[in-house]
Amino acid sequence: MALVALSAIQAYLIGNTYILKKKDFLRETDALVSKINDHELLDSLYFEGWGEDLALHISDYKNNRISKNEVLSRQKEKADSLNLLYTTIFEQELEALDLGFEVDYHRSLETIVVYENTTLDTIYHNTSQTPMVLFGTNFDHDEAVNNDNSRWYSEQEYITTQGDEVLTKTYDLEIRSANMMLIKDWRSIVLGRMAVLLIGSILLFFFVIGLLYYAIKGLIKQKKIADVKTDFINNITHELKTPLATLAVATKSLQTPALQNNATAFENTLAIIVRQNTRLQKLIDQVLSNSIHGARLVLHKESVVDNHFFNAVIQDFKLSHQHAQMTLIQEIYAPEVLLRIDRFHMTTALLNILENAVKYAKEDIVIKVNTKVKNNQYHIQIADNGIGISPKEQEAIFEKFHRVVDSNIHDVKGLGLGLYFTKQIIQAHHASIHLSSTLGQGSSFNIILPL
């Protein structure tokens, strides 16, 4: 809103500046061009050349020899005959001014009024924007500038007859005319004079919009980071709570004499303590390895035979998930291929994907692992028939601490670090990982290693 208000104020100020600059420019030009109108020769063309003829024609009009319109048409003819001389002088004077832009000009007729005794007779009165032009070129008055007006008042005589009597009568003649000019392209000249201001304002406007954009973007990013941190703290607290509670119960039971006397129960309880301890250790390791390796992962690559490596990984995975209702189908590329990989990290990366296939499964888990060589690249595909991932989550699950919220997050344990770490390892191998998944049907992770 502040930006909109500022823009409105800026627009208002620019509008005002435009009006002021226009006034200034017209005033400057008016001051220069007005001087030409005082030129002696132009004055004499108007007063002596054109004006004296008018007195004659009005005498004829007074004697009813011609009509008002005829007075005007004769005067127009007279003006036309003098126009070439008028414009030549005017043009010469304009050139001497060296304005740098084109100006049209004319002297137009405003009124011709005859006063005799107490009567007033209007011969001509201009009411329109297109008046009768005496000298100069034709143009409308709506955008023209009035340089000056002239009012010529004189006493005139005419001879008339009344019966047999010849009389000399007098009347007063008033002629008003206007000197007008029209500056061609005045708009672009005024805008040109405001160019620095206009361009400056536009640049400033876009700069402020840019700042606003970055500020809002930064704000959204910060908010996302804050959310991720809150989620992580919630998750880790939840993850730590269960083993700690189990440990508390187990240690308490170890203190009871009944259990101390029962060797098997004692051993079992100890085993529980060891398992919970290992789990806690694993959790801490997972967080630590991310903060240590997160920035830069150092690989120790070695040449590994593909099917030896995959068989070993799958074997270990099967062993640790004996209890699960799981079918694992493996199709490892038949001819042996030597891969340059970090055995330890690549195992972690693949296990993270395999573990997820079990964690986010429905009933009757089916996991398919297949590898093949295509276009000089080694393709590893791990597909499951689990709950699947919605399209809008598919990119995000590789982000640090991201967990899909819809799938009741606390049903399945996790910190949202597994896939993040997997992606880091894959990228460190200059490989890529892609996910294709359909919600409710399963997911397929595809890793492409350069050979």
Question: Which positions lie near ligand ADP, rule CB under 6 A?
Answer: 352, 356-357, 359-360, 384, 386-389, 397, 402-404, 407, 414-420, 443
Work out how close the CB of 326 gets to ligand ADP at its nearest, in angstroms, rounded to a whole number: 13
Nearer of residues 269 and 352 to ligand ADP, judged by Cβ: 352
Nearer of residues 326 and 415 to ligand ADP, judged by Cβ: 415
∠ at Cα 110 (109, 114), nearest 5°? Answer: 100
∠ at Cα 192 (186, 195), nearest 5°? Answer: 145
Work out how close the CB of 369 gets to ligand ADP at its nearest, in angstroms, rounded to a whole number: 13
Residues 33 and 103 sit within 8 Å (Cβ to Cβ): yes
Nearer of residues 215 and 233 to ligand ADP, judged by Cβ: 233
Work out how close the CB of 279 gets to ligand ADP at its nearest, in angstroms, rounded to a whole number: 14
CA distance 314 to 292: 27
- Which two three-digit tokens encode residue 167? 């009389």
Count of alpha carbons within 13 angstroms of residue 192, beta-carbon side: 7
Work out how close the CB of 316 gets to ligand ADP at its nearest, in angstroms, rounded to a whole number: 18
Nearer of residues 239 and 306 to ligand ADP, judged by Cβ: 239
Question: Which uninterrupted H or E stretch holds 243?
Answer: helix 195-254
Work out how close the CB of 285 gets to ligand ADP at its nearest, in angstroms, rounded to a whole number: 14
- Which two three-digit tokens encode residue 314? 């799958």
Work out how close the CB of 413 gets to ligand ADP at its nearest, in angstroms, rounded to a whole number: 7
Nearer of residues 440 and 450 to ligand ADP, judged by Cβ: 440
Residues 197 and 204 sit within 8 Å (Cβ to Cβ): no
Pairing between strand 338-341 and 302-305?
A: antiparallel
CA distance 65 to 426: 111
Work out how close the CB of 395 gets to ligand ADP at its nearest, in angstroms, rounded to a whole number: 11
Q: How many residues does the chain have?
A: 451
Nearer of residues 121 and 231 to ligand ADP, judged by Cβ: 231
Name the residue whose CB lies closest to ligand ADP. 414
Q: Which DSSP letter does residue 406 get?
A: T
Nearer of residues 71 and 433 to ligand ADP, judged by Cβ: 433
Three-state DSSP at 215 gives: helix
Token pair 């308490």 in the structure block, residue: 252
Residues 449 and 414 sit within 8 Å (Cβ to Cβ): no
Three-state DSSP at 99 gives: coil
Work out how close the CB of 421 gets to ligand ADP at its nearest, in angstroms, rounded to a whole number: 8
- Which two three-digit tokens encode residue 13? 């100020």
Q: Which DSSP letter does residue 272 get?
A: H
Terminal Cα distance for the chain, rounded: 57
Nearer of residues 314 and 357 to ligand ADP, judged by Cβ: 357
Distances (CA, A) of 305 to 114, 134, 309, 335, 339: 120, 105, 6, 10, 6
Nearer of residues 232 and 310 to ligand ADP, judged by Cβ: 232
Q: Which DSSP letter does residue 49 get?
A: I
Work out how close the CB of 324 gets to ligand ADP at its nearest, in angstroms, rounded to a whole number: 14
Token pair 């303590």 in the structure block, residue: 273
Nearer of residues 86 and 232 to ligand ADP, judged by Cβ: 232
Work out how close the CB of 231 gets to ligand ADP at its nearest, in angstroms, rounded to a whole number: 10
Residues 359 and 412 sit within 8 Å (Cβ to Cβ): yes
